[in-house]
Structure 1
Amino acid sequence: MSADTPMAVASVSKSFTSLAVMQLVERGEIDLDRPVRGYLPEFTMADPRAAKITVRQLLNQTSGMADSTFREKSLPQPGTLEGAVARLRTAELAAEPGTAFSYHNTNYQVAARLVEVVSGRPFRDYLHAHVFAPLGMRNSTTIDTDRDLPGSARGHLYILGQAVALPEPTGFGNGSGGVLSTAHDMARWLIAQNNGILSPRSVKEMRTPSAQNDTYALGWSIRRTERGTPVVEHDGDLFTSTAGQLLMPRSGYGVAVMANTGTAFADADALMDGVVAMIEGGTPQVPSRLSPYLVTDLLFTLLTLATIGLAVRGVVRARRWATRRTGRQRWRLLPYLAPLALCAAITPIFRLLARGRDAAWIQVAYLYPTFVIWLLTTAAACIAVVIARLAGGGRGEPRPPLTVPTAGSRRSG
């Protein structure tokens, strides 16, 4: 890896999409407070309230769209921005537009499609012509799906303390998370934020949060560091890589980080916090040498090995078990189906624990790899034991021959 290696910046892409929209606003081609449908007639939903969604509400995530009513990750994935908008036709809103904040990638996919339609050119071409080329970002682009990720943007999971290279799970991200960039290019991007990329009025607009969420503006988050320094930032998470960007408007410092490890490990956040601490004259916090993930991975690895051992024992002894149970007692096999039921319920359980955020089954596996391996092993082991016991009961042990005592064999009284 080098400073010119293209990597995924994930949801940092939202700042690029917001900028593209604001450029069209400055040219008078878009009004932030007009309904999206006035510019994008194809944007229709099953909920009639969608007709009131404004461009601003897409960018500050108050449109009313949410993972709870539109499962954008676990549904079949589109291949284009046009397809991303088309699949909303059967979707409902979770809230009245403009009344509640909900971080939802589809907002920015609709915004990117809006840029395509209003500008009359593909979103990728628009960014190249109006953002990347003017800023000298020669190695940056935007892509549609995981299939478009170059080899340099492939990421990793940590399993048993080792970095394991894995492909990103299937997903669509253009507009919401599709930008690929480099360290050098991101430096040019951050410098441009304070160097006339937009008018001061538009920059202020982009950094003004909504009434529904005082930390999220138009593709940027507003907060303070631990030492109280005001910053504007945005982070990004894929399942195999992470990224972050941060600006300190008062001092002019900017930081961009891309890490080729997944969202479960928050490496980009840790690196960002360390760099910011140094800028502010502090000392970066050194991560613990004993990763909590290593302890968890070891635990589930031991459980997986123990499960395999118990399964072998259960299959070997299945015939003996079957001879001791009548047909009516085989209801005792029902608890062995519990791991299979948990496999089927894992995504609804995740949504509950994640407060409505959506994920596909394979994406949950990327977040908790050793747990899911253990769960699948347990489900397979239980099914194998059940089949073996049922088969053993079908064959059964041969019964001893029936003998009838003769009169001469009876004892005298």
Structure 2
Amino acid sequence: MNRSNKRKDRWKKGSAAAMAAVLLALPIAEGRGAARGAEAPASAAAEKADPAAAARSEAPNAARVKAQAMVDALIQNYGVTGAQYAIRDKGKIVLSGGTTLDDNGGKREIGKTSMFGVGSVSKMYVTAAAMMLADDGKIEIDRPLTEYIPDFKMTDERYKEITPRMLMNHSAGLYGSHYKNSMLLGDNDSQNYDSLLANLSVQRLKSDPGEYSVYANDGFQLLELLVERVSGMDYSEFLRQRVGDPLKLNFTRTPMDEFDRGALEPIRLPGMPKALPPENANILGTGGVYSNAEELTLFGDVLTGEHPELLSEQSVEAMLQPEYRKGVWVPETKNAFGYGLGWDSVDLDPFGEYGIRAATKGGDTIMYHSALISLPDDDISIAFLTSGGSSLYNTAAATDVLLEYLKQSGKIANVLPAPTYKKPVKTDMPADMKKYAGLYGTVGETRRISLNDGETKMPAMMSGMIPEQTYVYTGSGEFTSEDGRTVLAFDEQTNGHTYLRVRSDIEMEGIGGTRMAFYEAQKLDDNRLEKGAAAAWSKRDGKTYYALDEKINSLFYISPSILTKKIAFEKEGGYANGTKIVDKDHAVNAAEIPVMNGRDTFDLTFTRQGGVEYLQADGRTYVSEDGIGPLYAGRSSVVTIPASGSVRWFKIPAAAAGKTLTSDFPEGAGFAVYDKTGAPVEISAASGSKTAVLPEGGLVVFGGKAGDALKVKLERK
């Protein structure tokens, strides 16, 4: 379906100048499972005449072995169900392949035309689009954004200082992301994008524009809107006309395009015998592009200056500058993150150790994951796409494959050995280090850090890739982990905040490693609460609040923690979930953390209606667990969706546990069932099933359009 007329009217308000049109949607020309492989030289004579070409011809043999080993490791150990890769060198595909799993879990060769969601690699497309407009003289990236989107407003007057450059380098100071109803199964509803300006209009900034870079999806939604306003055309159409047709891209699309959804690589969940419906990331500039590995490397040629007719060399070089160094940043030079314009890193480690400039962008939706690494001075790009897994895994795998290719093609002599680590030797900690003990906050949580006898214990970080362990003082203001891989320090930064800094060499079995340097948490001042506020927050402590306005076909129901907020009250310090408590019903974001752990911040606002407490946060409305009643345990009932929300939650009472729920519901409606740990038992939008056995102590949520009536039957079988 097309974007709403409301949206069309909005981008018509901008400049009437339309861009030159060159691309129309092209039909899918090749089916899945089509032949692929390295493009060989035309003849043996050509190889003899061009030793470099001969080296490139032989190189994929070793690189292919490495690439397939990476794919096998990802499938075996990291939840990947399909993987596709390609390397392009001097405009030619020299390596292409991958593996996919069928419905029975059997492996087969993947079709080179199979399409994946590229997630946040989509940010490179919208960044390039904005820079194309700059090349055309239609925008200046250091002019106020309000000149191009005059109805963009926020409650914080500093928003008038935001520029397109700040959106592209993540330094605008935006809270981060509005995810509500953004990633849907088989549904390209654009309501998330359509409500962008309204959502931002009631928010403030978390930092001065340009003060530091911290990942912000909403900034790239604003870039998408800028492209539409200035060009006068729908964003998907802009991509087709300015990128797709000149490059002859047959398999690069957005959810708003008409194309064969059967070309998308299947997305699968454990325990489900069939693939899920197509995943639509309907936030196009942020994460909504589909492509395949070969076409993504061709777009990589645009980003590295090989197509100046599309993107000028001046714009390419501007995108590759180390923008992250303009503001507050960790002092390390070796890091997986170092923002340019759009790029996650413009000096990706370890390529610098070989004297090679490398830029990278990773991307994640719920089910698709991607990595693009480009070597702008060598005209080489690699893309690694998966269904399942993580962009971090893809980037590590792509790095190892690309290094192997560089070695085999004679561009580097050898691949450097992995670093080794020793158990740290503890030394006496200076007494003045104790000033860094105390309360620290990050997005969503607070923690107390103690520094006793030169030791500190830290919980797991980076989703468990850095394990929980004890760190000992090893001198120079640093604490080193038991395994020697991770080092902690405390930085007093120029913005007046003290940060816990982490540097870690993370090893991922079978796919290589990565160097991460980031601020984990910010030291917080105690926030003394008046008695009434402390009492109100004490009552909420430990309670869970459930989102009411997420469509039932959202992929977030697969990971319900995204749709819940459990309140953690830090009474001594006066914080809750990392936010600073203002009064009995309000708390505001306290974290101003550059890079990773400062993203997607939120405020907390509580209201009451009819004796039930509701929470407003990150653009969503949540209901307290106290307001969730039991599911009727009798044979038949009807659940009606109210006008105020998309879903209704119910607790599964003991009388209903073990019974089989069967629901008859209108198109677009459905339900999800969770056990007492929050793990999904059944998600009708994902499986297509209308039945589920209800677990003891679990939850069931019904959803649909306002007024939808879902018939429910419970039977004990």
Partners of 1:275 and 1:166 in 2: how far apart?
Answer: 30
Partners of 2:120 and 2:206 in 1: how far apart?
Answer: 22
Partners of 2:679 and 2:316 in 1: how far apart?
Answer: 53
Contact 1:154/1:167 (<8 A) preserved:
no
Counterpart for residue 376 of structure 1: 678
Q: Does 1:272 align with 2:361?
A: no
Contact 1:277/1:283 (<8 A) preserved:
no
Matches within 5 A, 1:107-256: 107-143=219-255, 150-153=261-264, 156=267, 159=270, 165-166=275-276, 172-192=282-302, 193-195=304-306, 196=308, 197-210=310-323, 211-212=326-327, 215-220=338-343, 221-227=345-351, 228=353, 229-256=356-383
Secondary structure in structure 2 of the residue aligned to 1:50: helix
Partners of 1:383 and 1:198 in 2: how far apart?
Answer: 54
CA separation of 1:165/1:65 partners in 2, compared to 1, >3 Å: closer, same or farther? same
Matches within 5 A, 1:45-84: 45-67=154-176, 72-74=178-180, 78-79=190-191, 81-84=193-196
Partners of 1:15 and 1:377 in 2: how far apart?
Answer: 35
Q: Which amino acid counterpart does residue 217 of structure 1 have in structure 2?
A: G
Q: Does 1:259 align with 2:365?
A: no
Partners of 2:679 and 2:120 in 1: how far apart?
Answer: 34
Q: Name which structure has the greater RCO, CA cutoff 8 Å, separation 6+.
A: 1
Counterpart for residue 292 of structure 1: none
Secondary structure in structure 1 of the residue aligned to 2:382: strand
TM-score normalised to the size of structure 1? 0.66
Counterpart for residue 318 of structure 1: none
Contact 1:258/1:268 (<8 A) preserved:
yes
Counterpart for residue 137 of structure 2: 28
TM-score normalised to the size of structure 2? 0.40
Shift of 1:7: 1.6
Shift of 1:149: 9.9
Shift of 1:112: 0.8
Secondary structure in structure 2 of the residue aligned to 1:4: coil
Shift of 1:348: 4.1
Shift of 1:269: 2.7
Shift of 1:174: 1.0
Shift of 1:154: 5.6
Contact 1:144/1:178 (<8 A) preserved:
no
Shift of 1:373: 5.0
Partners of 2:199 and 2:597 in 1: how far apart?
Answer: 24
Shift of 1:83: 3.2
Secondary structure in structure 2 of the residue aligned to 1:222: coil
Matches within 5 A, 1:35-46: 35-46=144-155
Q: Which amino acid counterpart does residue 375 of structure 1 have in structure 2?
A: T
CA separation of 1:381/1:32 partners in 2, compared to 1, >3 Å: closer, same or farther? same
Partners of 1:124 and 1:244 in 2: how far apart?
Answer: 22
Contact 2:255/2:281 (<8 A) preserved:
no
Counterpart for residue 68 of structure 2: none
Contact 1:32/1:55 (<8 A) preserved:
yes
More deviation in 125-134 or 253-262? Answer: 253-262
Q: Which amino acid counterpart does residue 401 of structure 2 have in structure 1?
A: V
Contact 2:180/2:192 (<8 A) preserved:
no
Shift of 1:380: 6.1
Secondary structure in structure 2 of the residue aligned to 1:62: coil
Q: Which amino acid counterpart does residue 211 of structure 2 have in structure 1?
A: T
Q: Does 1:91 align with 2:203?
A: yes
Structure with the higher fraction of residues in strand conformation: 2
Q: Which amino acid counterpart does residue 294 of structure 2 have in structure 1?
A: H
Contact 1:49/1:96 (<8 A) preserved:
yes
Contact 2:146/2:152 (<8 A) preserved:
yes
Matches within 5 A, 1:265-344: 266-281=392-407, 282=415, 288=509, 341=543
Contact 1:85/1:109 (<8 A) preserved:
no
Contact 2:192/2:283 (<8 A) preserved:
no
Q: Which amino acid counterpart does residue 150 of structure 1 have in structure 2?
A: R
CA separation of 1:284/1:170 partners in 2, compared to 1, >3 Å: closer, same or farther? farther
RMSD: 4.0
Partners of 2:247 and 2:163 in 1: how far apart?
Answer: 29
Contact 1:222/1:232 (<8 A) preserved:
yes
Partners of 2:291 and 2:280 in 1: how far apart?
Answer: 20
Partners of 2:565 and 2:229 in 1: how far apart?
Answer: 36
Q: Which has the larger radius of gyration?
A: 1
Q: Percent identity?
A: 24
Q: Which amino acid counterpart does residue 73 of structure 1 have in structure 2?
A: Y
- Corresponding residue pairs, total: 320
Partners of 2:274 and 2:392 in 1: how far apart?
Answer: 16
Partners of 1:250 and 1:377 in 2: how far apart?
Answer: 47
Structure with the higher fraction of residues in helix conformation: 1
More deviation in 277-286 or 120-129? Answer: 277-286
Contact 1:240/1:260 (<8 A) preserved:
yes
CA separation of 1:91/1:262 partners in 2, compared to 1, >3 Å: closer, same or farther? farther
Structure 2 stretches of 5 or more lacking a match? 1-109, 184-189, 330-336, 408-414, 419-506, 511-539, 548-560, 568-576, 579-595, 602-617, 623-673, 681-693, 700-717
Structure 1 stretches of 5 or more lacking a match? 290-337, 362-371, 385-413
CA separation of 1:38/1:135 partners in 2, compared to 1, >3 Å: closer, same or farther? same
Shift of 1:32: 0.7
